[in-house]
Structure 1
Amino acid sequence: MNKRDVVIPAERHALYEQHHYSPAIRSNGFLFVSGQVGSKADGSPEGDLKQQVALAFKNLNAILEAAGSSFEDVVEVTVFMVDPQSRFGSIWPMVVEKHWGKAPYPTATCIGVTWLAGFDFEIKVIAKLPDA
C-alpha cells in the first residue's frame, strides 16, 4: 500500500482530528481537497451564512497554499449547500466574483443537501499542481 501524501495547512483545525480525515492528498500531479466548511479553529460552525462561506474559502485557500497551489490551479469544484433554493442567489455571486476570477472558470457542480453536520455550505476541489 502506498503512503498517502497528505497536505495539512499551518493552522490545522479540529475537524480533521474529530472526524478522522485528511485535509488534502497529493496524487499523480493533482491535489484532492476534502470538503471545506466555515469552521472555526475548534471545529464549530460560523453562525452567519456569508461569514461561513467566507471562512470555508479561507480554509480552502490555506490548504491550497500549503500544497504550493492556488485557486487558479483548481479544475473542478463541488459545492454542497443546505436549502439552495433560498440561499443560492445570495451566496453564488459572492463566490464567483471573489474566487473564480475571469474565464476560463473551473468546472462546477452545486448539490442541494439536507444535512452538513451543522454547517450550511461546503466546498471541495481538485487542483492541478503547478509543478506537475
Structure 2
Amino acid sequence: MINNKFDDDLDDLINDINSVMDNPKSKPVSQQNYQLEQQPNQSQQQKRKCLSPQIGNQQQFRTCTNLRCLKCDLQVKCHINQKWNKDADYLIFRNYFNNMAILQKYLTEDNQCNAYNCQCTNINALESIDAPQNWVCSGHTI
C-alpha cells in the first residue's frame, strides 16, 4: 500500500513535468505566484529623485526634503528657521545625532535660515544652494 501511494505521487510529478515541457508557454504555479509578488502594488509608488538636490529656506520651491548622507548613511535633518551656532562641531553631531535635547543647545532662532545636519556634516543655508556632495535625494513619491 505504501508503494502504491509513492508510485501515484511519482506519477503525478512526472505528469506535471511533462505538461510543462509539452507547453513551454505555461509556467509552473510556483513561478506565477512569484511574479505576482514582485509586481508593485498601489502602496508602492514610484519615487522620483532630484538630480541636483538643493537646500535652503523652505519657502523656496526647489529645496529637497528627503536627503540621505552617503558617508554616514543617515537621513539628513532640517531645522526650520534655525541655524547652528559656532560651538557646534563634528563631535557634537557624531555623538548626539539622535538626541534633540542636546542638539537644541547648539541651535539659535533665525527666520531667514535653515540648519541641516546628518551625523558627519552640518550646514546653515540662508538661500537655495546645492546640497553637499555626500547628500543625495532619497526620492519623492509621484
What TM-score bracket applies, with the shorter chain setting the length? Answer: under 0.3
What TM-score, normalized by structure 1, do the two folds share? 0.25
| Rg larger in structure | 2
What TM-score, normalized by structure 2, do the two folds share? 0.24
